[in-house]
Amino acid sequence: MANIIPVLSKLQIEKIPSRAEQKVYKSLAEQLPDDCLVVHSLEFIKQTSKFKSHGDREADFVIFSPHYGVLVVEVKGGGIEYDKSINQWYSIDRKNNKHEIKNPVRQAKDAKYEIRSHLQNTLGNKNILLAHAVMFPDIENAAPLISPDMP
């Protein structure tokens, strides 16, 4: 069983606003080995290139493994669609309403690079393997979402 921060009881897990994140929280806690550290809803400050300002960001899950490195995971629930012709992502709710959402792949990549920067500033210029992933726990077939930036 993985070490997970924050440690939540079953009742507290049910209070996570996203049911998709609830599912992923439970699965990661139960299925990853105990030498993994999982941080749920990791908040950080990202320096934006525009006007050299800063902005608050959040990674849904960050998994630290002594054997494999760091994996940054963005989670999107509900039905998911991607319109390749206009590069637009959508979430589809229970009432079958379509909502535009941010590109989850871009979100995961941005968080990965920002976390890498923070780790390098803290630990020095060490070789740390970082990767990103997107999880869609509510869909059965992700094939329609495949694109060059999301194999």
Query: What are 103-121's pLDDT values in tens digits?
Result: 999 999 999 999 998 888 8
The pLDDT assigned to 49 comes to 62
**pLDDT exceeds 60 at position 53:** no
CA–CA separation, 44 and 130 (whole Å) = 17
Which two three-digit tokens encode residue 123? Answer: 């630990």
**pLDDT exceeds 70 at position 139:** yes
Number of alpha carbons in the 13 Å side-chain half-sphere of residue 145? 18
Q: Which residue has the higher pLDDT, 100 or 53?
A: 100
What's the pLDDT tens digit per position in 30-44? 999 999 999 999 987
The pLDDT assigned to 48 comes to 60
Which two three-digit tokens encode residue 61? Answer: 């899950």
How would residue 94 be classed by pLDDT, with cut points 50, 70 and 90? confident
Cβ neighbours of residue 148 under 8 Å, at least 6 residues apart?
none
CB 103 within 8 A of CB 87: yes
CB 72 within 8 A of CB 131: yes
How would residue 148 be classed by pLDDT, with cut points 50, 70 and 90? confident
How would residue 84 be classed by pLDDT, with cut points 50, 70 and 90? confident
How much is the pTM?
A: 0.88
